[in-house]
């Protein structure tokens, strides 16, 4: 079967890719970006008629995405899997892919290009190389960037480009982090402080917060087969996604920006309530189902949530522990939102693996679970359900051989000699890159964790 490309186009993208020039650099061109921001950006271009917002995608580590996209002129399809028949759409907004290992300097040069006004990022929690609220200055890659080599870390790339630019730049974090924009600004500021010089352009650089939402599991051979059947051509870069898509962006830009609101995004003055609702309701429940589901031998999130007991626990996590900590954004009914989240998880066509959601727990828990624990404890409540989610992670760490986590070595050695539930709880509560002293010292939390770990391991 022939391969998707500009000369082999069964379904034309909504905008002629040849007419687009690059105005956005996206760091971390994985499946999520291609199924989310790239789609909204293309829709915005269709609605506004603007052709200056093509995307240069950057791969931080591997050349895989570039190798998939280059022979296809940057084109790829989004395979949407909902309850009905799957559908497919070809997206043409990615115009170039650069890879950091091959040419780190080209990445900085592209961000510094005056035609570029916006940088977006999906580099996952660990890509920020933070320790607590600041930059991890002990990280060897950060240290190496600080010596002045062409930068290989995300923060190093942004800092080097800001130092070179004359026109204002806006940097939009699209990762699942609390106050992702201000957080990234702090990390870049820490980097400049460590360098001992803060360029003038840093002050003018804007870091709006954003909340992103779309479930995008890893693509499988079955997805590639389905896309080929629907398209009539082969697409090595297909991404699969649910129909739902949400993007709420803080309206704080240094210069021009794509008309993303015309592509379906919401521009607003305050993203925090949206982001908090999403991280605490959706992501925390997702992780809980991933850990409990994996421990029960379920392959996918849909199987886990369809287990009556686990589905019930997921519902109780939201209603009993999370909702009381939230101030809903205007127009959001939290009960209805929670029900929608569970319906989305139940989508049997998605095949989102429990192991995929379970990875990187050491950097996900603080963002999606521990704020809820802290708020419930402060309110004098017993956070029974959210501590079950934390306990499930602890048992998962103990029982998983090839733990996929940036701190896997540290976690595995912490639990190496553990023989009983209380020891597991204490060993992991002592990991100070995950748990802050207030949580470590809470006997209410510890007792709950020991109860849950006991129940989960017997």
* Residues engaged in binding ligand CS2 (CB under 6 A): 176, 213-215, 283, 286, 356-357, 364
Of residues 364 and 452, the one with the C-beta less far from ligand CS2: 364
Of residues 80 and 213, the one with the C-beta less far from ligand CS2: 213
Of residues 261 and 275, the one with the C-beta less far from ligand CS2: 275
Of residues 213 and 405, the one with the C-beta less far from ligand CS2: 213
Q: Minimum Å distance from CB 283 to ligand CS2?
A: 5
Of residues 44 and 357, the one with the C-beta less far from ligand CS2: 357
Q: Minimum Å distance from CB 39 to ligand CS2?
A: 14
Q: Minimum Å distance from CB 335 to ligand CS2?
A: 20
Contact 202, 162 (CB under 8 A): yes
Of residues 345 and 435, the one with the C-beta less far from ligand CS2: 345
Q: Minimum Å distance from CB 351 to ligand CS2?
A: 13
Q: Minimum Å distance from CB 284 to ligand CS2?
A: 9
Closest CA to 218 of 122, 338, 355, 347: 355
Q: Minimum Å distance from CB 174 to ligand CS2?
A: 10
Distance CA 328, CA 334 (A): 7
Of residues 357 and 414, the one with the C-beta less far from ligand CS2: 357
Q: Minimum Å distance from CB 47 to ligand CS2?
A: 23
Of residues 136 and 285, the one with the C-beta less far from ligand CS2: 285
Q: Minimum Å distance from CB 288 to ligand CS2?
A: 10
Of residues 110 and 352, the one with the C-beta less far from ligand CS2: 352
Q: Minimum Å distance from CB 135 to ligand CS2?
A: 23
């Amino acid at each position: 079967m022939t391969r998707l490309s500009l000369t082999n186009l069964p379904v034309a993208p909504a905008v002629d890719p040849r007419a687009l020039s690059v105005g956005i650099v996206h760091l971390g061109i994985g499946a999520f970006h291609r199924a989310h921001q790239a789609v909204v950006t293309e829709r915005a271009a269709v609605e506004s008629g603007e052709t200056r917002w093509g995307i240069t995608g950057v791969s931080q580590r591997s050349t895989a995405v570039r190798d998939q996209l280059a022979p296809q002129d940057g084109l790829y399809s989004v395979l949407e899997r909902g309850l009905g028949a799957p559908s497919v759409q070809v997206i043409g907004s990615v115009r170039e892919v650069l890879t950091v290992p091959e040419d780190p300097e080209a990445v900085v040069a592209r961000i510094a290009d005056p035609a570029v006004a916006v940088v977006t990022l999906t580099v996952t929690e660990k890509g920020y190389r933070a320790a607590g609220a600041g930059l991890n200055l002990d990280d060897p890659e950060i240290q190496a960037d600080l010596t002045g080599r062409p930068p290989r870390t995300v923060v190093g790339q942004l800092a080097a480009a800001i130092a070179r630019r004359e026109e204002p730049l806006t940097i939009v974090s699209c990762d699942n982090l609390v106050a992702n924009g201000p957080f990234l600004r702090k990390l870049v500021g820490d980097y400049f402080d460590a360098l001992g010089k803060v360029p003038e352009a840093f002050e003018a650089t804007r870091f709006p917060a954003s909340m992103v939402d779309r479930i995008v599991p890893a693509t499988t051979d079955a997805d590639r087969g389905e896309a080929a059947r629907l398209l009539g051509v082969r697409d090595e870069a297909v991404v699969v996604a649910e129909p739902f898509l949400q993007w709420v962006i803080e309206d704080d830009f240094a210069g021009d920006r794509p008309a993303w609101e015309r592509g379906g995004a919401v521009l607003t003055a305050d993203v925090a309530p949206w982001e908090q609702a999403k991280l605490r309701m959706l992501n925390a429940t997702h992780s809980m189902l991933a850990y409990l589901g994996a421990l029960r031998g379920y392959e996918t999130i849909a199987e886990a949530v369809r287990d009556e007991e686990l589905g019930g626990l997921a519902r109780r996590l939201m209603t009993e522990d999370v909702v009381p900590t939230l101030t809903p954004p205007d127009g959001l009914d939290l009960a209805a939102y929670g029900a929608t989240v569970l319906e989305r998880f139940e989508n049997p066509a998605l095949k989102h693996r429990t192991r995929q959601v379970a990875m990187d727990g050491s950097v996900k828990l603080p963002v999606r679970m521990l704020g809820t624990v802290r708020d419930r404890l402060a309110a004098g409540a017993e956070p029974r359900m959210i501590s079950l989610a934390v306990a499930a992670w602890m048992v998962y760490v103990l029982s998983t051989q090839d733990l996929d986590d940036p701190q896997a070595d540290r976690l595995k050695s912490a639990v190496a000699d553990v023989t009983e539930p209380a020891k597991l709880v204490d060993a992991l509560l002592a990991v100070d890159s995950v748990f802050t002293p207030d949580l470590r010292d809470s006997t209410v939390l510890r007792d709950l964790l020991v109860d849950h770990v006991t129940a989960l391991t017997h």
